[in-house]
């Protein structure tokens, strides 16, 4: 059973790694380290765990750990009497990702609003015939969607932040 879970973990590390390469613009090794740390949980992953389980050199692991720390994606803790560092995901990573999503949606909403405004101006010209008028429904619906998505994400973020505050207390 334990061996099957280990195989499942390695498959998920690979799958999440590929995902993080694209969504987080991480190098392949950094993406796999991040995925491995996520799947290791609160106990933390040691440097030696990462070197042996990801089959990467010490310098590669070290460089990518430093990069992930600089991005505030991971932190480490130590245990009394133990010289090892235990790497875990940053406790606020979920809130950071929510902020990123909100900013991206705001940016898209603004872009769609500008396009919508432009198309409305064209449509309102006396010289624009009915067959040359732009359809506006897509942009109007997309703006409504982003407004709802942003509001929902803000609501979720406040709930997650409240839970984080309770956990820290």
pLDDT of residue 32: 98
CA-atom Rg of the chain in angstroms: 23
pLDDT of residue 128: 83
Q: Which CATH architecture has domain 2-89?
A: Orthogonal Bundle (1.10)
pLDDT of residue 169: 65
pLDDT of residue 1: 72
pLDDT of residue 163: 86
Provide, rounded to the nearest whole percent, the portion of the chain with pLDDT above 90.
Answer: 86
pTM of the model: 0.80
- Which pLDDT tens digit goes with each residue over 47-67? 999 999 999 999 999 999 999
The burial of 26, by beta-carbon neighbours within 10 Å (0-12 exposed, 13-18 middle, 19 or more buried), is given as: buried
């Amino acid at each position: 059973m334990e061996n099957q879970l280990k195989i499942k973990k390695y498959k998920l590390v690979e799958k999440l790694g590929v995902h993080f390469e694209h969504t987080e613009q991480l190098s392949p090794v950094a993406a796999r380290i991040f995925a491995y740390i996520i799947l290791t949980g609160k106990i933390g992953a040691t440097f030696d765990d990462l070197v042996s389980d990801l089959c990467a050199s010490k310098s590669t692991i070290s460089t990518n750990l430093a990069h992930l720390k600089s991005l505030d994606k991971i932190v480490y803790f130590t245990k009394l009497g133990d010289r090892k560092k235990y790497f875990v995901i940053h406790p606020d990573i979920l809130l950071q990702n929510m902020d990123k999503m909100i900013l991206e949606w705001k940016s898209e909403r603004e872009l769609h609003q500008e396009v919508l405004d432009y198309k409305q101006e064209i449509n309102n010209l006396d010289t624009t015939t009915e067959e040359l008028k732009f359809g506006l429904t897509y942009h109007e619906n997309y703006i409504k969607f982003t407004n709802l998505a942003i509001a929902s994400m803000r609501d979720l973020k406040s709930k997650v932040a409240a839970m984080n505050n309770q956990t820290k207390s």
